[in-house]
Amino acid sequence: MGLQFPGSWRFSPPPDGHFINTSIPNEAIWEFNSIIDKMTGQGDRWSLLEHFKSAFGTSTRSSSESWAESDLARAMEHAAGNAPLFIEAFVNACDAIRNDGRGWFAPDSAFINSVLFKHRIGYEIQPPKLIAREAGSTPIPVAVATPTLSETARMTIENSLNRSENLLVEGRAREAVQEIIWLLETVATAFRNLESASGRIEGKYFNQIVRDLRNKSADTTLERILDWITSMHGYLSSPKGGGVRHGIDLAEGVPLDLNEARLFCNLTRSYIHFLLEEHKNLKQHHRTEPVSPFDS
C-alpha cells in the first residue's frame, strides 16, 4: 500500500518555506543512491538496481549492470523534481524488498525520516501517511544566541533542541519529550544564584529553582508562566501522565502519541525561549558574578 497524501501534490508539491518542499536536493539524492548501493550487497546487485529503477519510473531493462547504475541515477534525478513522488517511490521500493520473503534489510520509515530531516526536506512519513512538516508542525524557534550564555551553554541548548526534533521526525514520541524536558530542567539552572527584584534565587534543582523564582515574582507574568511550566512538568513526570521521567504506570498510564509529543515539545520550546529572555533581563538588571555553566 502506497503513502497517503493530497492528490494535488502529484502535480504541484507545496512551495518551499521553512523546509525544502518542492524537490529533493542533490545531496539527498546522492545519499539515497548510496543507501541503495549498500543494499545491493545482500544479493543480485543488477536486479536490485533494476528494482529501484522501476520504482522511479524507468521500466526498460538496462543492457548491463553498469548501465543500470547510471540509468538509476538519471531516474532518481528526474523524479527528484517532485519531492512527495520521490519519497513515495523510495518507500514503495523498500516496502517491496522487505515483504518479498527473502529476509533482506530495507530502510524503514524512521530511517528514511532521519535522512529527510538531515537535509531539511519538509516531509515526515507517519505510516500510512506522508505529512508536510510545514503545515503546522514547524518547531517553535528558540533564540539561543543571547550574550548572557556561554558558548558551551549555547551548544548544549542547540544540540538538545535538534536532538528532540530529530526524535520526533523518527516517530520516537516519548524520547523526544524526554529530551526537551531534560533541556527545560537544564536551562532552569541558569537562574541559580541570580538576583531578582525580591532577592537571590537559592534553589539547586529544577523544582526548587522554579519554586524560588515563582515566589520572588508574585503577581507577574513570570509567575503565571512558571505555574504552567510546573503543571506541565508534573504531568509529564507522573507515571499516570506522560511517564517520561519516572516510568509509566503499566496498568493506568497513558503513553504519549506523536501528536501529543509535538504539542508538548512545542510548548516546552516556547517556555525555554521565554526563560532565556527572562534570564537575559535579570542579568542585565542585576549583575552578579558568574556561578553557573550557563553564564558567559
At 84 the pLDDT is 96
- What does the alpha-carbon distance between residue 234 and residue 242 come to, in Å, rounded to a whole number? 9
SS3 131: strand
Position 25, amino acid:
P
Say which residues have a Cβ less than 8 Å from residue 4's Cβ, sequence separation at least 6.
128, 129, 130
- Joined together, the cell numbers standing for residue 190 give 541558569
Instruction: Return the residue matching grid coordinates 506541565.
Output: 232
Q: Do 199 and 241 reside in the same domain of the chain?
A: yes
Q: Do 127 and 156 reside in the same domain of the chain?
A: no
Q: What is the pLDDT along the chain (296 residues), one digit of tens a residue?
A: 578 998 889 999 988 888 899 999 999 999 999 999 999 988 899 999 999 999 999 989 999 999 999 999 999 999 999 999 999 999 999 999 998 878 889 999 989 999 998 999 999 898 888 988 876 556 778 877 666 677 888 888 899 998 898 787 777 888 899 999 999 888 888 777 665 555 566 667 787 778 877 776 778 888 888 899 889 988 888 877 777 776 776 666 667 777 788 889 999 999 999 888 887 777 766 554 444 555 55
- Joined together, the cell numbers standing for residue 73 give 541515477
Whether 244 and 256 have beta carbons less than 8 Å apart is answered as yes
Q: Which domain holds residue 11?
A: 7-132
At 75 the pLDDT is 97
- What does the alpha-carbon distance between residue 95 and residue 47 come to, in Å, rounded to a whole number? 16
SS3 5: coil
At 289 the pLDDT is 46
Q: Do 187 and 127 reside in the same domain of the chain?
A: no
DSSP 141: P
Q: Do 278 and 157 reside in the same domain of the chain?
A: yes
Q: Do 177 and 122 reside in the same domain of the chain?
A: no
Distances (CA, A) of 98 to 104, 143, 205: 6, 43, 48
CATH code for the domain in which residue 191 is found: 1.20.120
Nearest to 54 by CA among 26, 98, 100, 92: 92
In a domain? residue 146:
no
Q: What are phi and psi of 13, to 5 degrees?
A: -65, 160
Q: Do 183 and 230 reside in the same domain of the chain?
A: yes
**Partners of 4 in the beta sheet?**
129
pTM exceeding 0.75: no
Whether 117 and 161 have beta carbons less than 8 Å apart is answered as no
Whether 139 and 160 have beta carbons less than 8 Å apart is answered as no
Q: Do 155 and 122 reside in the same domain of the chain?
A: no
Whether 207 and 293 have beta carbons less than 8 Å apart is answered as no
Q: Do 102 and 159 reside in the same domain of the chain?
A: no
In a domain? residue 19:
yes
At 222 the pLDDT is 81
In a domain? residue 88:
yes
Report the domain count for the chain.
2
Whether 224 and 230 have beta carbons less than 8 Å apart is answered as no
Q: Do 190 and 89 reside in the same domain of the chain?
A: no
At 288 the pLDDT is 47
At 135 the pLDDT is 62
At 131 the pLDDT is 87
Position 77, amino acid:
E
Give the chain's length. 296
SS3 37: helix
Q: Do 89 and 193 reside in the same domain of the chain?
A: no
- The angle, 0 to 180 degrees and rounded to 10, between the axes of the packed helices 45-55 and 83-98 is 140
